[in-house]
């Protein structure tokens, strides 16, 4: 890892070899790339990495999810099942600071790319494994998918409404949580390496990453001796809390009242032209305990008011009154919102001309992050990377290509 100038992105000079697939490892390495690392993806046309279908798919097989998750990276096309291709990967790992992979436990070892094998040539290597259940213990060989992990980690017990079956959080929650934790661990390992001079193997089971996010539920269950319940949009601490239908088709506002003052403000706002002028004066609703007991009735009265107004009006009126509220926005609403935001950026993307991409929600005052660059085409950087990282000559590249190792 090279020292960087103060005005450079924080991970400039760090080389990351991404031998991941689908989402967990690629998301981790995208975060590292966003922070300035030189991230090189190892891919192959014989085993293409096409994540979940989306509303957009280019002729080269890249979906919108791939374009967002793999921005700011370079791609080398190497067949890891070809002896010469596997040797190329080993040589790239010897020149890297970090390797990130999310295959099932044992896969990298069978390819000859496990940590012990790679550290022999590169003792400073930080090697991050991201299998579903880790590389040790009784679960190591379990097949993992997002929904299964949510069920195994206890998360689904508290998702969904009372009386409904457990409901998974959409958008591959586990992959993103695993990616965030692993990015954090990699940066910590790189920092430690500055002192020790030695690399490390990070065994980042996504199961453990998921469980770490429900620590308060584990504690309360241990203390109370009972499992938490599914509450949907409600809370034991705030009332009323929920989503309320507004005028129009599938229009809603989310409201969360945190104290008695906010309750009085909500009740007075509802009574301004509302159908029920008695809400603010109800003694039954004056305290949190009372509002929790009569939550259903309060919900009915609030929604009788919200149904008569569009979501924007409800949001404006309650926000002006000091009530925590947000109109339910669709993804398209976010894309069309003209207000300045660090949530996303527009990126030049040759496949579509231009596209919005989610931004790294971090702003460095002294180390500005580079603008996002489009996800690579398969293998578009193979020769460039092999020349830069391995110092290969054109004759050597041609010889490798002739073996079929570069795909």
Is 110 part of a structural domain of the chain?
A: yes
Residue 206: give its domain's CATH number. 3.40.50.10540
The reply to whether 296 and 352 lie within a common domain is no
Same domain, 28 and 62: yes
Look up the CATH number of the domain holding residue 258: 3.30.1540.10
**Cα separation of 351 and 115, whole Å?**
36
CB atoms within 10 A of CB 191: 10
Residue 197 lies in a domain: yes
Angle CA 198–201–205, to nearest 5: 155
25, 141: one domain: yes
pLDDT at 3: 46
Same domain (yes/no): 367, 270: no
Last residue of one domain, picked from the residues 315, 333, 351 = 333
Structural domain count of the chain: 2
Q: What is the pLDDT of residue 54?
A: 58
Interstrand relation of 344-349 and 353-358 (parallel, antiparallel or unpaired): antiparallel
pLDDT in tens, the chain (407 residues): 454 455 788 899 999 999 998 889 999 999 999 999 999 999 988 877 755 555 566 666 667 778 888 999 999 999 999 999 999 999 999 999 999 999 988 899 999 999 999 999 999 999 999 988 888 888 887 877 777 888 887 888 888 888 888 888 877 888 999 999 999 999 999 999 999 999 999 999 888 888 888 877 777 777 777 777 888 899 989 999 999 999 999 999 999 999 999 999 999 998 875 656 578 788 999 999 999 999 999 999 999 999 999 999 999 999 999 999 999 988 777 767 665 567 777 777 877 777 778 878 877 777 678 788 888 988 999 999 999 999 999 999 999 889 988 88
Same domain as 95, residue 59: yes
Has residue 177 been placed in a domain?
A: yes
183 and 156 within one domain: yes
Domain end among 278, 310, 333 = 333
Q: Are residues 40 and 138 both part of a single domain?
A: yes
Q: Work out the burial of residue 288: count CB atoms within 10 Å of its CB; fewer than 13 is exposed, 13-18 middle, 19 or more buried.
A: middle
pLDDT at position 352: 75
| Of 99, 49, 173, residue with least CA distance to 389 | 99
* Domain boundary, last residue among 333, 361, 389: 333
Residue 326 lies in a domain: yes
Same domain for 208 and 351? yes
CB contact at 8 A, 142 and 133 = yes
Residue 235 lies in a domain: no
Tell whether 32 and 178 lie within a shared domain: yes
Supply the range of the domain harboring residue 256: 241-333
| Structure confidence at residue 362 (pLDDT) | 79
Do 208 and 97 lie in one domain? The reply is yes
Same domain, 174 and 207: yes
Same domain, 97 and 194: yes
Report which of 179, 181, 186, 148 is spatially closest to residue 166, judged by C-alpha positions: 148
């Amino acid at each position: 890892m090279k020292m960087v100038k103060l005005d450079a992105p924080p991970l400039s000079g760090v080389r990351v070899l991404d031998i991941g697939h689908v989402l967990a490892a690629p998301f981790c390495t995208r975060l590292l790339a966003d922070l300035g690392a030189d991230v090189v993806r190892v891919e192959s046309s014989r085993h293409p990495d096409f994540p979940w279908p989306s509303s957009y798919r280019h002729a080269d097989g890249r979906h919108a999810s791939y374009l967002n998750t793999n921005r700011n990276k370079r791609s080398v096309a190497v067949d890891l099942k070809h002896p010469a291709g596997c040797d190329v990967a080993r040589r790239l790992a010897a020149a890297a600071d970090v390797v990130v992979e999310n295959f099932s436990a044992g896969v990298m070892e069978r390819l000859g790319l496990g940590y012990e094998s790679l550290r022999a040539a590169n003792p400073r290597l930080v090697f991050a494994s991201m299998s579903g259940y880790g590389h040790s213990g009784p679960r190591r060989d379990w097949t993992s998918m997002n929904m299964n992990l949510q069920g195994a980690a206890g998360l689904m017990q508290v998702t969904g409404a009372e009386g409904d079956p457990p409901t998974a959080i959409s958008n591959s929650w586990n992959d993103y949580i695993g990616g965030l934790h692993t990015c954090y661990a990699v940066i910590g390992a790189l920092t430690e390496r500055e002192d020790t001079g030695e690399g490390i193997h990070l065994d980042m089971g996504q199961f453990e990453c998921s469980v770490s996010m429900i620590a308060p539920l584990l504690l309360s269950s241990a203390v109370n001796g009972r499992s938490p319940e599914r509450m949907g949009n409600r809370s034991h601490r705030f009332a009323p809390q929920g989503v309320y239908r507004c005028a129009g088709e599938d229009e809603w506002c989310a409201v969360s009242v945190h104290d008695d003052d906010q309750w009085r403000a909500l009740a007075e706002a509802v009574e301004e032209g509302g159908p029920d002028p008695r809400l603010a004066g109800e003694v039954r609703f004056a305290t949190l305990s009372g509002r929790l007991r009569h939550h259903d009735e309060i919900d009915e009265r609030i929604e009788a008011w919200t149904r008569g107004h569009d979501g924007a009006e409800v949001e404006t009126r309650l926000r002006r009154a000091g009530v925590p509220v947000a109109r339910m926005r669709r993804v398209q609403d976010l894309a069309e919102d003209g207000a300045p935001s660090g949530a996303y950026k527009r990126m030049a993307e040759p496949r579509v001309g231009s596209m919005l991409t989610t931004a790294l929600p971090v702003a460095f005052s002294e180390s500005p992050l580079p603008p996002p660059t489009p996800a690579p085409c398969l293998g578009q950087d193979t020769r460039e990377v092999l020349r830069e990282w391995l110092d290969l000559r054109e004759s050597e590249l041609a010889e490798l290509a002739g073996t079929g190792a570069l795909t």
